[in-house]
Amino acid sequence: MAPRLQLEKAAWRWVELVKPEEIRREHIELAYRVNLPACKRGACRNCKGNPSCLVGIGEQAWLGEIDENAFHNIDDPNSERRDKNTFVGLTNLGATCYVNTFLQVWFHNLELRGSLYQCHNSRAQEHNSESDYEPQSICEHLQYLFALLQNSNRKYIDPSGLVKALGLDTGQQQDAQEFSKLFMSLLEDTLSKQKSPSLQNVIQQQFCGQFSYVTVCNQCGRSSALLSRFYELELNIQGHKNLNECVTEFLKEEKLEGENRYFCETCQSKQNATRRIRLHSLPPTLNLQLMRFVFDRQTGHKKKLNTFISFPEQLDMGPFMEGLQDHKYELSAVLIHRGISAYSGHYIAHVKDARTGDWYKFNDEEIEKMEGKKLQLGIEEDIAETVKSQTRKPKCSKGYHCSRNAYMLVYKIQQEEGSAPPTTNVEVPTFLQRLVDQDNRKFDEWCNEMADMRKQSVDKGKAKHEEVKELYELLPARDGEPYEFIPLEWLKKWLDDSTATKEIDTTLFLCSHGKLHPDKVGDSKRVSMQAAQLLYERYGGGPRLDGSSLCRECVSQRCRVLRLKNQLNEDFKEVSNLVKRTLSDDGFWVGKASLRSWRQLALDQLEEDEQETKHSNGQTNGQGPHTNNSKEFGSELSEGNEEDMKTFNEDIVCSHGGLSILETERKLVSSEVWTKLREYFPKALEFTKNQEPCQQCVTLEQEEKDNEAVSKMMAQDQKNQLLNLFHEKNRPVLSKWPQGTEVLYIVPLFFVDEWRKFIRRPTKCSPVSNVGNTLLLCPHGGFMFTYDSLINGDAQHIALLWPSEWEVISRLFMVDQPISIQCFDQPTANGPSTQYTTQPDLCWECRESFLFQQQRDLREYTQATIYIRKVIEDKRMVKEAAPELNASSSEAEEEREEHPKPDGERDPDFSQSEDGTKRLKLGDGSAASSSANPTTNVTKMGGIRRSTRHRKLRGEKALIVSANQTLKELKIQIMHAFSVAPFDQNLSIDGKSLTDDSATLGSLGVIPESIICLKADEPIADYAAMDDVYQVRMPEEGFKGTGLLGH
């Protein structure tokens, strides 16, 4: 079948030969495509423009035999059931894989698990099985979690209870090694409160060893030792190839020389010395942290070291111990970080089953048993490795493994011959098993419920299958038999078993005459009356659309519009020729703009008329806006407002509905031209040659001319009386009080600016009637400024007047409140002193409130600009190769904005002097002395912050900051801007050093437009020392605010 567009054109091809009044039934059926043949299955996907095509609407899923699984989308609930002789996984809650790996490792420590089961838990022992068990303490959470991991019927369980109790952010991946340390510390503190002595020291007994820092004086040989406990050994892997080298470096002797010399109590002075770590005892479970995540001073962030490290399955720590002790360990777990970044990636764990000796890979919900009895890490080293590394994986000897992703190794002590066998089986206590059984019953109930839902879906699908097979055969409407139209979308939903079938709704398919709209034929299907009857009986709905619902009125209107559109080009040529002829009769007035663009207007009108016969968003004719998508005649539009024109002749219709008084905007045309135009614009207003212009407009035009004359006279009169004020000449200055004058008057600068606008353009601007001095007063009627504040910056808000000018102002304008400032001599012991007073008096209460608010605004800002100026040792500016002003187009734009503006568009904060220099504009350009400093950034006491622009120097960069931002965050910004690491930055403002990284910029006195000096230290050569400095000065947030730090 032809495409939809071709079918639509074919349905209306007959309009070229048939007039609207000649339309018969056969033409209506052509428009509704009633006689189009139906398509055969396999011949097309679906002809959307053919209402008789019933192929590809979803029926193929129901015809033929159907598998039962097609009737539901419910997975087999037993797929969530734990397989026999397998372990239970843990759900990843977003970014909690690092938590899951440690939980699995600790679960497989049978001694720790057995001890936790022995902890007293009255809440679990007294729990009512009718409600869900909710653990409270960390021990309770671990007890219940371990019991579920041991005996749950689920394939994986949800650890959200423990994660929530710890206060962890499930969407943020944290440092796994730090989590291990903090959690062990928290668990140790929790278990120490148990009543049983055997439980109080479980963590120490399992994980705690001892070493000492031994320092030997080179002068006298005195040895001093500082004993310390450890729960894990942190081994540096940089520059090493195997675990033996890492441990050797950990215990390596360190020389204390120079500034790092040791104070010897025997020598009573600082002496060169040596220091080393000496291992005294090792725990049954030895945790070795491989320090893969280190600080990168170039970027200011952590990075991951992808160094291959070889480690043995059997580890002999005897050579590293003092004395001839036998400390042989066997590998029990390897924790892996997959990924190239220290801030992302994925954590998994390889753990050895203590009972069977088999190795398992724990990857959140997924658990995989390794083949044989050996640990296999090969595949883990090939995943998520996109870094270009020159290091190839070294060959490993028998009994050794190599990894570039392992970050923690767990070794278990080997039992000596003749000693008691280790614990291989830990039973779940009865009170915990009761809770596990309760959860298993809930899981079984869920499985049964899902199975029932699957069965119901299958039964419903089978019934629907029979219904579709029965009805689909009845759907096609045969020639000559009654038919009805059913919405295509409803038929698709009826055949789509995933959606509930609603009643048949055809209301959106109706035209304004209550019948089937011609444009909706392509979205509906013509079905047999018998099939429609069965569908309406089963599902209801309406109104029903049969053969009598074809709308003659809509077809006739569409026919008229299409015929006019076809005739438009010929009529346009004819009108163009007729307009050029000389008039032989009186004629009619038409708008020149309308005449220039009448073809586009006619096309728009026809499109609108056609739109009224079209269906838009379920609206009937005349409702909603219509858009014109046709622009084929758009080239006819020309200048003026013709693109905004909606109807013909509207450009010569005044606001009162009469003929416009502007004769230049209209043209006389012959009656022959007007008749042709009226065919396309039947609603256009008609104006004959003898039509009088609108009398209201004539009257208003005369009044407007009279008013303009009055405004010009008023402006000239006011300008003559206040000539110096208009030209800004001979203005009084506060800092140089004019001799012989006791009082000056004050008005808002806004009043003067608005008055000047009126004087310059009296016919365009409204005259000023009110001075508006209340703008400068507080709610109590007091003045808001002092003499000193006006000199120091507040004068930009006011204009000063001579007494003679004030008399004129008082006479010409309404004055709500006079404001004046008076100068007088006050007798004192040292002679007369010049004093100044204002009328009204200053309101000190409001003045102080204003200053307080001003200072607070300087401390509570967001998205403000400050400048960082880099200096070298002698405090001079660092010279850059190019001016900073050329750094970006936006800064160049700021420079252009500083250029003087044309007269009448001057910068309100500046005035222009004769030499072109830009100066701060105070008051009316002369209310303060010219010696006032216009580039001051910090507001003087009692003044208002000035609107100034900072000019950046070379070596200086602008940063966007907020008052609540910390100094630490600012240092990170500076690092990216200047490539100076945070710990190499020495910052100061106005000579005061900024050292508190946790303090906010507002509390440190950093305000908008501040200049902060940056002095960079030389980089630290020793990498390890640099890392230590950073950790001290720039502590990470890490687990701040979680339960791990709140115990």
Query: Which residues are known catalytic residues?
Result: 97, 346
Q: In what order do the strands lie in the sheet with 666-669?
A: 666-669, 588-591, 687-688
Whole-number Å distance between alpha carbons of 65 and 352: 50
Note the residue count of the chain. 1047
Whole-number Å distance between alpha carbons of 212 and 217: 16
Whole-number Å distance between alpha carbons of 510 and 770: 62
Decide: helix, strand or coil at residue 88. Answer: coil
**Is the preceding omega at residue 3 within 30 degrees of 0, hence cis?**
no
Burial of 559 (0-12, 13-18, 19+ CB in 10 A): buried
**In sequence order, what are the beta bridge partners of 864?**
961
- In this structure, how many other beta carbons lie within 10 angstroms of the beta carbon of residue 487? 19
Token representation of residue 376: 């296999």
Q: Which amino acid is at 457?
A: S
Q: Nearest CA to 71 among 446, 466, 537, 448?
A: 466
Contact 56, 42 (CB under 8 A): no
Q: At what angle do helices 671-680 and 552-580 cross, to 10 degrees?
A: 150
Whole-number Å distance between alpha carbons of 118 and 139: 10
Whole-number Å distance between alpha carbons of 980 and 344: 25
Token representation of residue 309: 């490290």
Q: DSSP assignment, residue 835?
A: E
Beta strands in 614-730 (DSSP E): 666-669, 687-688
Q: DSSP assignment, residue 303?
A: E
Name every residue whose Cβ is closer than 8 Å to that of residue 914 and which is 6 or more positions away in sequence: none
Whole-number Å distance between alpha carbons of 605 and 619: 19
| DSSP structure string for 439-451 | HHHHHHHHHHHHH
Name every residue whose Cβ is closer than 8 Å to that of residue 863 and which is 6 or more positions away in sequence: 960, 962
Q: Which amino acid is at 1012?
A: I
**Is the preceding omega at residue 543 within 30 degrees of 0, hence cis?**
yes
Decide: helix, strand or coil at residue 90. Answer: strand
Name every residue whose Cβ is closer than 8 Å to that of residue 67 and which is 6 or more positions away in sequence: none
| DSSP structure string for 846-877 | HHHHHHHHHHHHHHS-SSEEEEEEEE-TTSPB
Token representation of residue 202: 């479980």
Contact 71, 468 (CB under 8 A): no
| DSSP structure string for 646-658 | -STTGGGB-TTSS
- In this structure, how many other beta carbons lie within 10 angstroms of the beta carbon of residue 975? 20
- Burial profile 64-87: b = 16 or more Cβ within 10 angstroms, e = fewer: eeeeeeebbeeeebeebebeeeeb
Q: DSSP assignment, residue 518?
A: G
H-state helical runs in 979-1043: 1023-1033
Q: DSSP assignment, residue 963?
A: T
The angle subtended at Cα 959 by Cα 955 and Cα 965, nearest 5°, is: 135
**In sequence order, what are the beta bridge partners of 1045?**
none
Phi, psi of 307 (to 5 degrees): -80, 135
Alpha-carbon torsion angle 532, 535, 538, 543, nearest 10: -60
